[in-house]
Amino acid sequence: MQPLSLPHGVDDPPSLLLWRLDELIPLLLMLVVGMLSDRLLIFLALGLGLSRLYGRFRDSRPDGFALHWG
């Protein structure tokens, strides 16, 4: 019997280029808020900061922690 190779990223969320979808949500949300409030640069910087903070939070916890947190 031959060993079966299983992929490691089956349960990962979808990604767009280098970013995972759960990291893009704060950025895209702040982008839309910035367009609607006519303060695009401020909210874009805020979205980038929130995405980085969420990425650091997610990387310091076990896999799937953000789904079950709360």
Tell me the pLDDT tens digit for each residue of 3-57.
887 767 777 777 778 788 888 999 999 999 999 999 999 999 999 999 999 889 8
Instruction: State the amino acid at position 54 in one-letter form.
Output: Y
Distance (Å, rounded) from C-alpha 63 to C-alpha 60?
A: 9
Among the listed residues 3, 69, 55, the one whose alpha carbon sits nearest the alpha carbon of residue 27? 55
CB 47 within 8 A of CB 26: yes
pTM of the model: 0.71
d(CA 42, CA 30): 9
Burial status of residue 66 (CB atoms within 10 A of its CB: 0-12, 13-18, 19 or more): middle
Residue ranges per domain, the chain? 20-63
